[in-house]
Chains A and B, each alone.
Chain A
Amino acid sequence: MTPDMTPPDMTRDLDGRSLPHESARLHVMGAAHYTDDIPEIQGTLYAAMGVSSQAHAVIEAMNLEAVKSFPGVVAVLTAQDIAGENNHGSILHDDPILAKDLVQFIGQPIFAVIATSTDSARKAARLGDIKYQNLPPVLSPHDAHAQKSYVVPPMRLRRGDVAEKLAAAPHKLSGTFSVGGQEQFYLEGQISYALPRENQSLHVYCSTQHPTEMQMLIAHMLGWPQHRVTVEVRRMGGGFGGKETQSAQFACIAALAAHHTGRPVKLRLDRDDDMMITGKRHCFYYDYSVGFDETGLIQALKLEMILRAGYSADLSGPVATRAICHVDNAYYLSDVDLAAFCAKTNTQSNTAFRGFGGPQGAMAIEYIIDDIARHLGIDPLDVRHRNFYGKNAGAKNAGQGRDTTPYGQTVTDNIIHDLVERLQQSSDYRRRRVLINDYNKNSKFLRKGIALTPCKFGISFNVVHLNQAGALVHVYGDGTVLVNHGGTEMGQGLHTKICQIVAAELGITPDRVRVTATVTDKVPNTSATAASTGADLNGKAAQDAAAQIRGRLLPVAAAMLGCAESEVVFANNRVQGGGKSIGFNDLVAKAYMARVQLWSDGFYATPGLHWDAASMTGKPFFYFCYGAAVSEVTVDTLTGEWRLDRVDILHDVGRSLNPAIDRGQIEGAFIQGLGWLTTEQLVWNDKGRLMTHAPSTYKIPASHDCPPVFNVALYEADNAADTIGRSKAVGEPPILLSFSVFFAIRDALAGLAAGKGSSPPLNAPASCEEIFRVANGFKAV
């Protein structure tokens, strides 16, 4: 195999250029500071948590004498020490910062130890003597569902008449399957560093995607007004959703400890604690009935989804909503009855993870389509084609059929037909399908499989008010520019894109623009950097701020150049007009002398969104991202081992702001999704203890999991919606591209499955054992 390692396509030059990540130089020199790298203030103390050893129990008594007397321990804090609200739950207030009387999962923090070293704190934290009175734990989502025990009320979205359409359909299938959860495994674990400041205030450095919420929750915990707490994050070593709400517990504990001791306190989680305490991607269990005709056209779908929510609500409600809103993926579903149940289990409280339920929702329809294709003996790609949203969908033809989502939004930007057609050509899908069939005829133990799966992903927060952002742009006297905005940098390249946007607006080169840490005392009331909206929202806000400054500079420039304002052009660090040219710096210097305001705020709110949670209808999304992937695998039927032979991706990012960064997001998401669906498996034992809580036992993809042929291209088209530079969001949608790997594995097994026309009962994660089990019709004991 000759690996194809061609660098990203740099020739494609829309507005966007493939600038390196703004911190790339710092990254490679080890000079980029993460929260744990900030020079510590003298007197800093270190925290660790004592956690529950029981999945569900009443705390009868707690003896913490041994903890307190351990060398180096300065303080031990419990729920009693919280003056305000003992809660870090963002939507429902059902997440105690420190458990008081009741513990609800193994790993739940009960007390915090503050010591002169991390080592002391961690050692002492193990010495708590806690008497429990055990209650029966609920460990499986099915058990919770049977008991109707949910963290939020069940949700249901219905359109048309499913019962009647199912009864009338020429073909009907029903079945069950499941996909596993997934640990975020950000390389930098959860960390907060809280510093007491003057006059009863706190400054908290926190690795978080949501500084404003951290600020709010800390204030509530202390019973303080919000303006006494400042939260700051320069960058995270990865977030992936795991630091959207789940950073709060640790921010709160560090803040509580700093408040109590009057000294700076750092709480950095060890990897095992991080995985034992924090929530993950929800695993889903599906139960479906589908009716369709002989061409595979779906006529009715009834689907129930049970999610493992864990012990509290956290974001499970919105995750389930997004799952329901993505069951359609790229397909028109006329008659649907979709239900989601957020099962309450005595395990970690599951949370956001790249895709936020979208991948789990879309996975369902892809699985069902795969089943339909096998049942009919048609290539799954043809069934996919058959069910795509209407080809002529577009603003002009809106509402004319096959273009309305189950939740009532009209799809006006559908490009899936053309995109899939191109990918099918460039990947040579049809010919390879034939070659693979030949290979399988001649190979006794190894089998190949191939699959092309599409993706459509809705962009915007499903909760309308969150779709807002602010930014501040400062132009200094020397012409250099500082930008601050509400988004956080977790590696996705947001700050790089913002730099490019502001630079373009002011006609200067990006090296003159610096983006600073996200701090709640600059831009307030921000939304989480989540739902892939970071560049859409903050980019527009930053552009707004820069445009205002440019507007104020314009008359000054026109006067200096002696031309009309309409003739002035800002470009390449210069300002031109009337045949003359001046330096941007000179213009700025002049404007300052003329007492022109050289800084500005900017704001953006996504227009036109509405959502009715009760009926689950509305227009929750500003636009959709599209993409498709083809994967080819080889599976060993003797062991269940497999390899990824080749991947071809064509993905829609609108007019790319930065093709290299976008390609990086696509590849990274693809490999992350591949891990979710194959090697990454969360295992709890029969007591409810998570057994896979470190990289030794939980296996994310490594270097050999990168396929030898990995062709990734960007679909070239402007976003139909008026987004920043007509670009599209990129963070989450490409997670769905990894479905192609799962379905390629299933394809490889299809010929082996018992009985013609039936589908291999493969569940995700398709571990070697799972693949082997299916390949051999073999039941794990």
Chain B
Amino acid sequence: MTRSREHLKFLLNGEARQVTNSPPTMTVLNWLRAEGLVGTKEGCAEGDCGACTVVVAEKSVKNDKIEFKAINSCIRFMPTLDGKAIYTVEGLADAEKNLHPVQQAMIDHHGSQCGFCTPGFVMSLWAQYQNIQAHGGDKPSISDLQIALNGNLCRCTGYRTILAAGQAAYDRAAYDQAVYDQPAATVDRQELSQKLTAMENAEILHLPHPSSMFAAPKTLADLLTLRQNHPAATILAGGTDVGLWVTKQHKNLPEIIYLGEVAELQAMTTTADSLVIGAAVSLHDGFAAIEQHYPQMSELARRFASTPICQSGTLVGNIANGSPIGDSMPFLIALRAEIELIGAKGARRMPLEDFYLDYRKTALAADEIVAYLHVPLPPSLSLSLSLSLAKHDGEFTLKFATYKVARRYDSDISAVCGGFAVWLDASHRIRDARLAYGGVAGIPKRARAAEQSLLGREFTEASVRAAMAALSGEFSPLSDHRASHAYRLAMMQNLLLRFYLEHNQAAPLPRQATNVYAGF
């Protein structure tokens, strides 16, 4: 195996730092606060409030450009910062204590009341500001701001003032030039890039803390070796769930293998027939790539989780986790996505739906990892289908949508999530149907009986109503604090109806007529 290194190296507010002897599950938040950087707050320790928001800058695997990402420091483990740059609220003003435009705008527009959420909001705004400046972009729309801030809760202001501040930060006229043009407003990317490059090396981070092991392999080969040598190790990717095992369940994680540094898994590639997403690719990047081919999932991508969670968490992690309430599985199952497991005995591929065996039980073997997600591209999806039906009788049209129902628009776990795909032949007959749901059974699940009832029939309201009726025979969702059994069942049916209303041939309704969030 590659040579290893026993300490962390990263940039903190531009300064190089080395950390030794920090327990691998030490969160960034706790470390910062112990260092005296108490501007970053804890509001929940579970990634849901944004009081702990800090910004991580790293080079994009895609193009080597620097990306600034707001993250939840409360559930992020220290070793995952290795080789990156981290910024906290203390680092934004310049040496003369001139404020950054986002800070000044927050004051001018009365964006803070109790102020406890404010550092988090400032960091989210600052990350957005850095990314916009780098791309020469314009000031963000209110909607852009709402998305950038959807992981920051404020109990005092009601948000309007913060959104107003978010825009005003870009209004040069509103600011004294001297304040605005100070160097600190936009991070010098070239300099940062050099500093990050200087930290790069081939060593594997391998922290031999007395009570635990943390390894961050850089190649798939090394990852697999580690996986075999430590079959009980926790596999850590974005940490948006594993973080909570530590902060909320107080679990000890004696062995951790982090796959965020594995080059092969950071990759996202497009083959002739599919999009291949590696296990280290974030939800944000993964969704963005899928959205290019399937724009119908863009609302789900916005509502899936907060921006910081989507920037930390990985798409494959969401899938591998095996939670019955993950929002990515229903639509991926509907789209015939496959996953690739790699282990000691080599790689194997399986349809995503076959991965889930039972509540929190998957087909993953002890020596394996979920390495890739394969999402078929639209043309190949229809083609392979027509081939598989043996009798190729012309082009099929794919109708696809995915919806979720939750208590709140932003960052909420679904009561029900549905992914629907039907393939119609030239005479509008349904040649194949895949209806998959989350939140309604122990695993993400296809509605086989409802699918069956659609096959061969025309895509009409009557057919869809028959499928809706079939759902109630097939599913018996739980009642819990999110929703009752009856509501879940009704939503399974009505989301399918909405799919029909929006996608039927005869008189499809625009989203504005079926979805209150169409304008968001």
Measuring CB to CB, which residues of chain A are less than 8 angstroms from any residue of chain B?
1, 3, 5, 7-8, 18, 20-21, 23-34, 36-37, 39, 119, 122-123, 126, 184-189, 235-240, 270-272, 443-446, 490-493, 634-636, 638-643, 660-661, 663-664, 667-672, 679, 681, 683, 685, 691-692, 694-697, 699-706, 708, 710, 767-769, 772-773, 776, 778-781
Contacts and interface: CB of A to CB of B under 8 A. Distances in A.
B407 A681 contact: yes
B495 interface: yes
A27 B155 contact: no
Contacts of A20: 107-108, 110
Contacts of B516: 446, 634-636, 641-643
Interface residues of B, number: 97
Interface string B407-444: 11111110100000000000000000000000000000
A654 B509 CA distance: 49
Interface in B13-52: 33, 36-46, 48-49, 51
Contacts of A701: 158-159, 408
A349 B200 CA distance: 55
A734 B473 CA distance: 48
A695 B309 CA distance: 14
Given A238-B114, A703-B149, A30 B407 contact: no
Given A123-B250, A708-B142, A8 B110 contact: yes
A24 B415 contact: no
A185 B49 CA distance: 11
Q: Which of B110, B143, B152, B514 has the most CB of A within 10 A?
A: B110
A706 B97 CA distance: 32
B163 interface: yes
Interface stretch (B355-363, B457-465, B483-491): B483-491
Contacts of B46: 271, 694-696
A29 B250 contact: no
Interface string B101-126: 00110111111111111110010000
Interface in B476-519: 479-487, 490-491, 494-495, 497-498, 501, 509, 513-517, 519
A272 B248 contact: yes
Nearest to A692: B481
Interface SS majority for chain A: loop
A28 B149 contact: no
A103 B145 CA distance: 47
B491 A639 contact: yes
B179 interface: no
Q: Which of B114, B116, B119, B490 has the most CB of A within 10 A?
A: B114
B99 interface: yes
B146 A126 contact: no
A667 B485 contact: no
B115 to A, nearest CB: 3
Contact of B103 (A29, A668, A710, A781): A29
B33 to A, nearest CB: 8
Contacts of A776: 490
Given A27-B118, A187-B43, A237-B41, A704 B113 contact: no
B49 A695 contact: yes
B12 to A, nearest CB: 14
Interface stretch (B60-68, B87-95, B201-209, B313-321): B87-95
A443 B415 contact: no
A660 B106 CA distance: 13
B324 to A, nearest CB: 15
A781 B486 contact: yes
B226 interface: no
Given A639-B491, A694-B48, A492 B113 contact: yes
B155 A185 contact: yes
A28 B412 contact: no
Nearest to B100: A28
A31 B39 contact: yes
Nearest to A708: B142
A708 B164 CA distance: 12
A767 B407 contact: yes
B218 to A, nearest CB: 31
B171 to A, nearest CB: 11
A668 B158 contact: yes
Given A694-B44, A781-B484, A638 B494 contact: yes
B405 interface: yes
Given A236-B114, A636-B514, A695-B153, A706 B498 contact: no
Given A238-B156, A660-B110, A695-B49, A29 B44 contact: no
A769 B484 contact: yes
A60 B515 CA distance: 56
Q: Which of A25, A26, A236 has the most CB of B within 10 A?
A: A25
B150 interface: yes
Contacts of A188: 41, 43, 114, 116
B186 interface: no
B501 A445 contact: yes
B164 A671 contact: no
Given A667-B160, A776-B490, A781-B485, A36 B38 contact: yes
B167 interface: yes
Q: Which of B44, B99, B250 has the most CB of A within 10 A?
A: B44
B409 A27 contact: no
A411 to B, nearest CB: 29
A56 B154 CA distance: 35
Nearest to B482: A697
A392 B304 CA distance: 55
A435 to B, nearest CB: 16
B107 A24 contact: yes
A281 to B, nearest CB: 13
A426 B167 CA distance: 26
A43 to B, nearest CB: 16
B182 interface: no
Contacts of A492: 113
Nearest to A492: B113
Given A5-B167, A445-B514, 17 more contacts: A7-B109, A20-B108, A24-B110, A27-B119, A30-B89, A187-B114, A238-B114, A238-B116, A445-B513, A491-B156, A639-B491, A667-B157, A683-B481, A697-B481, A702-B153, A704-B146, A705-B408
